[in-house]
Structure 1
Amino acid sequence: MTEAEKQQSLPRIVSPQEWLAARREFLVREKEFTRARDALNAQRRELPMVAVEKDYVFEGPDGDVGLLDLFEGRRQLIVHHVMFDPSWDEGCSSCRFQIRDLGHLPHLHERGTSLALVSRAPYAKIQRYKERMGWSVPYFSSYGSHFNYDFHATLDESKQPLLINFRTKEEHEEAVGPWDVWGHELPAVSVFLSEGDTIYHTYSSFSRGLDILLFTLNYLDLTPLGRDGG
């Protein structure tokens, strides 16, 4: 964007009285959105859940572990499916941005929730990548397992019937277009609940559904220049 275009996109300059009137009018919209978001969050918590019946194996710093180990003794687990194909040398840039944007994990821990990163790349690659990035967040490899395929964060018809953001391949192509235009790996989050030794899958979200988790972008949404910045 040129400097002239930036100037044209700036808000109108008004008096303090006009600003207050416009802000109060917009506040009504914000309150409507807040109430709608609260209602949506309540409905999300009421979604049914399904038992996880497979024994998935992950590799981490202490060797092989199961899905229950990723909970670290807490009742809830959020998994970030980080796009990192086994043939790649590092994870994708958008996922890297998301990991760098993560908040203070002990705040989740205090509320009985763990967060872990999972990629299909072999653990040796993940370990080198994690060390290079300076990350301390728990990061595991699902290399050789069906974990990413079963939760539709990796799309491969030879492994699992395609479900692209909860649409079949045919539904997706009719509504959006070619399903593989962005590749086979998707940015995704899956949420799990443990009851004793039983694990339940409660929620998953993909692509723009992860937007709300990005600290930086949601702060930039408050500014007049938005996500493009200055």
Structure 2
Amino acid sequence: MQPDHPLPKIVSREQWLEARKALLEKEKALTRQRDALNAERRQLPMVAVAQDYRFEGPQGEVRLIDLFEGRSQLIVYHFMYHSDRGEGCDGCSCLVDNVGHQSHLHARDTTLVLVSRAPLAELQAFKQRMGWTLPWYSSFGSSFNYDYHATTDERVAPVEYNYRDQAELERLGLNYHVQGEQPGVSVFLRDGERVYHCYSSYGRGLEMLMSSFHYLDLTPFGRSEGWDGMPDLDGKGMHWTRLHDEYQQPAAVRSCCSD
């Protein structure tokens, strides 16, 4: 069923081609801007990781350097796991569903893993339910999530999310980032036995990892989330992603990634 939303204007092929070429120039300009931004991101300085972080994996306790699996670069996706619900965050789960075959990353000396502050047994059970194969480690009991702002709790550490402190988050009405599990991505580089932190991103900065969003951005209805001129697919003012085995169930509005 199509959303009750105005369709694009109908024009001749010649008019469409003229409009398409005009948009193409803007797309090319954005591509050049993105190339420049990527180059600037690669040139960010890095910080030595002094903490001896320990994680629990299927084979037992491992160190941060072990997550590299012998490669030089490590991408850690900070996956929100909700132990109170016994399942992962809808948005984080959609993102993992979008991850392609890891051979393409491995060929570029890069490893991608998931890390969550939850007992490993719970993560493994949910991983089996979702049918995922990505390596998933538990940071339960370590300060890793707090240090990289993937868990916020002022009782443990000063609150910071997306480079904003608690006062700014509350002023902006982003109170759901003040306490609890948060989504994010962090990048590390290994030089011999030394590990360095190079980059972290949060909130809408994670959209670059969501290939389904980019596919939908090619379509007239876009992401169908009810903002920026897009139709509201479910009539609730915002259409959030769901676990891939729950799309036939009523939607639950859960805010996790914004700004």
Choose the corresponding residue for 2:218, options 203, 209, 222: 222
C-alpha contact (below 8 Å) 1:119/1:140 kept by paired residues: yes
C-alpha contact (below 8 Å) 1:85/1:120 kept by paired residues: no
Match of 1:206 in 2: 202
Match of 1:55 in 2: 52
Residues 110 and 62 (structure 1), Cα distance of their counterparts in 2 relative to 1, 3 Å cut: same
List gaps (5 residues or longer) in structure 1: none
C-alpha contact (below 8 Å) 1:79/1:118 kept by paired residues: yes
Aligned-residue offset at 1:181: 6.1
CA distance in 2: counterparts of 1:178 and 1:104, whole angstroms = 34
List gaps (5 residues or longer) in structure 2: 225-230, 234-259
C-alpha contact (below 8 Å) 1:123/1:141 kept by paired residues: yes
CA distance in 2: counterparts of 1:216 and 1:180, whole angstroms = 25
Aligned-residue offset at 1:134: 1.6
Which of structure 1's runs of 4+ aligned residues deviate more than 2 A?
A: 85-88, 170-174, 177-183
CA distance in 2: counterparts of 1:181 and 1:139, whole angstroms = 23
Aligned-residue offset at 1:202: 0.4
- Length-normalised TM-score, structure 1: 0.93
Aligned-residue offset at 1:171: 2.9
Choose the corresponding residue for 2:136, options 123, 136, 139: 139
Structure number with the higher helix fraction is 1
CA distance in 2: counterparts of 1:135 and 1:16, whole angstroms = 44
C-alpha contact (below 8 Å) 1:86/1:120 kept by paired residues: no
Residues 56 and 85 (structure 1), Cα distance of their counterparts in 2 relative to 1, 3 Å cut: farther
CA distance in 2: counterparts of 1:84 and 1:219, whole angstroms = 26
CA distance in 2: counterparts of 1:50 and 1:96, whole angstroms = 29
How far does the alpha carbon of each residue in 1:183-211 deviate from its partner, in whole angstroms, 9 at most, with x for none? 52111001000001110000001121111
CA distance in 2: counterparts of 1:210 and 1:90, whole angstroms = 20
> Is residue 72 of structure 2 the alignment partner of residue 104 of structure 1?
no
Choose the corresponding residue for 2:115, options 118, 126, 145: 118
Match of 2:180 in 1: 184
C-alpha contact (below 8 Å) 1:86/1:143 kept by paired residues: no
- The alignment partner of 2:62 has SS state of strand
How far does the alpha carbon of each residue in 1:116-141 deviate from its partner, in whole angstroms, 9 at most, with x for none? 00111101111111112221110010
Choose the corresponding residue for 1:167, options 143, 164, 167: 164
RMSD (CA atoms): 1.8
Letter in 2 for 1:92: C
Aligned-residue offset at 1:94: 1.2
Aligned pair count? 226
- The alignment partner of 1:210 has SS state of helix
Residues 168 and 13 (structure 1), Cα distance of their counterparts in 2 relative to 1, 3 Å cut: same
Q: Percent identity?
A: 53
CA distance in 2: counterparts of 1:129 and 1:172, whole angstroms = 31
